[in-house]
Amino acid sequence: MSFHSKLNFLPCATPWKLILGLVVAVFACTTAFAALTSEGQYVVNSLVLMVWGALVMWMCAGFTLLEAGSVRTKNASMICMKNIGLYSIAGIMYFVIGYNLMYVGVEESSFIGTFALFSASTSAENQLLGMDSPVASEQILSKGNASMAFWFFQMVFVATTASIISGCLAERVRLWAFFLFIAVLTGFIYPIIGSWTWGGGWLANLGFYDFAGSTIVHSVGGWAALAGVLLVGARLGKFKSDGTVQPTPPSNVPIVTLGVFILWLGWFGFNGGSVLALASAKDAILMSTVLVNTNLAAGAGVILAITISRPVLGRVDLLAVLNGAIGGLVAITAGPDTTNHIAAILIGGAGGCIVVLGMKFLEIVKVDDVVGAVPAHLFAGVWGTVAVSFTNPDVSFVNQIIGVVSIGAFVFVVSLLVWWLINLVITLRVTELVEQLGQDVAELGIEAYPEFVLMPDQNIMPDDSSDYKS
């Protein structure tokens, strides 16, 4: 008698048959799943990297919405162009050179990998693909996951680093100047830092710890953005001669909020996927702990940002609160695997406070960060990296400081040099008229909101409109 016929006695046929069938199937499979074979572990771990990697890739959509809603309507299309462009550049540059610089041959120098071009599956994996009846060899299974699954997961991290820069320098940086810097960042700057740390280089040997990238990803993006914004300068009219700050409210607050929620969702892949495995009960427990800590830290960042935004900024500032969530997420990213839940709340809450205070500090020193990327990613990233030493007895405070300072110095100095060279060659900043008209019309020839009437600010328009250069 078939299994289906055994269920025919149930009065409400289909729903009850389905539910009971699922229960029977779960119990029947318990023994099989209790101990995965080495090939089963390889498959599950590879699947986890690919699925979590796809979720991290979705963070690019979050950055796009956050930035497009934060800028004025006349620059929203340019934000969309920059974000899809930077993701594509990051993927190609990491494939061509970045991954090999980060992971291949690092042990020989401890400072950098190999300059060999192009990433690829191993020869054993390629040989397996060509077999009629493939049977995974121990050589393949010993890696724990497919080579290109690991490559894909690492690639979306470098794209996240690049996304941080777009919003910070929005509304005044030329498209091709920005793309050129992203190519250097994703092909060389980020991979070198990665080789020092996750690649097994000198900082890893020293004992520096950064589980999912508070410093390696977020502070690197923050340092690179800070170097660019210092060189490019503030938007026209942002800081007045009398010391006041010209408000530049976001063009679409709901889109900014949706972008932050998408980033929050993507962070579960960012931190959870960094476990790099899900083939055992231990992996499942660790990953669930990481996810809970990630969520708690973000929530605490929001609450603390709400609490201090009025005394610091003079109002309950929604944008500061949204950045508080990001600050909490960035702060916990360095150590969600070794932190208890109470500590996660404290670390994330402190991250939210740091973001609000950092936004005010940048206004005081007249640094124009359009989306608050430097406080959210750089300042909170430094805090989260140092905080690991408070919750993990095996991590040295001194080693964490050495890592933060050395990475910061390298990225900031090299980024400043690259931005400066680009400015010499093709000029970083758009002309005054382009900035007033908006990059959508002047550089792209397409408006994000064509039903709106374009009204340039006549107070700072050039006298001769022939000065316009796209």
Q: Which two tokens stand for residue 24?
A: 């029977």
Q: Are 469 and 174 in contact (CB under 8 A)?
A: no
The residue written with tokens 């005081």 in the block is 364
Q: Are 349 and 300 in contact (CB under 8 A)?
A: yes
**At a CB cut-off of 8 Å and minimum separation 6, what does 122 contact?**
140, 143, 147
Residues 228-262: tens digit of each pLDDT: 999 999 999 899 888 888 888 899 999 999 999 99
Picking from 262, 352, 356, 374, the residue whose alpha carbon sits closest to that of residue 315 is 356
Q: Are 220 and 376 in contact (CB under 8 A)?
A: no
Q: Are 231 and 46 in contact (CB under 8 A)?
A: no
Other beta carbons within 10 Å of 16: 12
Which helix (H) or strand (E) segment is 356 a member of?
A: helix 341-364
Q: In angstroms, how far is the first alpha carbon of the chain from the final one?
A: 77
**At a CB cut-off of 8 Å and minimum separation 6, what does 269 contact?**
51, 52, 53, 54, 55, 56, 58, 59
Q: Is residue 469 part of a domain?
A: no
Q: Is residue 2 part of a domain?
A: no
Number of helices (H), then strands (E), belonging to the chain: the values are 23, 0
Q: Is residue 133 part of a domain?
A: no
Residues 285-313: tens digit of each pLDDT: 999 999 999 999 999 999 999 999 999 99
Number of domains in the chain: 1
| pLDDT of 34 | 52
Q: Is residue 174 part of a domain?
A: yes
Rounded-to-integer distance, Cα 233 and Cα 235, Å: 7
Q: Is residue 405 part of a domain?
A: yes
In terms of residue numbers, what domain contains 268? 39-121+143-444
**At a CB cut-off of 8 Å and minimum separation 6, what does 300 contact?**
328, 344, 345, 346, 347, 348, 349, 351, 352
Output the CA angle 146-193-189, nearest 5 degrees: 100
Q: Is residue 321 part of a domain?
A: yes
Helix (H, G, I), strand (E, B) or coil at 412: helix
Residues 395-428: tens digit of each pLDDT: 999 999 999 999 999 999 999 999 999 999 999 9
Q: What is the CATH number of the domain that holds 96?
A: 1.10.3430.10
Rounded-to-integer distance, Cα 437 and Cα 470, Å: 11
Sign of the Cα torsion 289, 259, 436, 78 reads positive
H-state helical runs in 94-189: 99-103, 106-109, 123-129, 138-141, 147-168, 175-184
Q: What is the mean pLDDT of each run of 10 residues along the chain (470 residues)?
A: 44 48 44 69 95 97 97 95 98 97 90 92 83 73 92 97 96 97 98 97 97 98 98 93 86 96 98 96 96 98 97 93 98 96 98 97 95 97 98 96 98 98 95 92 89 57 41
Q: Are 190 and 138 in contact (CB under 8 A)?
A: no
Helix (H, G, I), strand (E, B) or coil at 245: strand
| pLDDT of 14 | 54
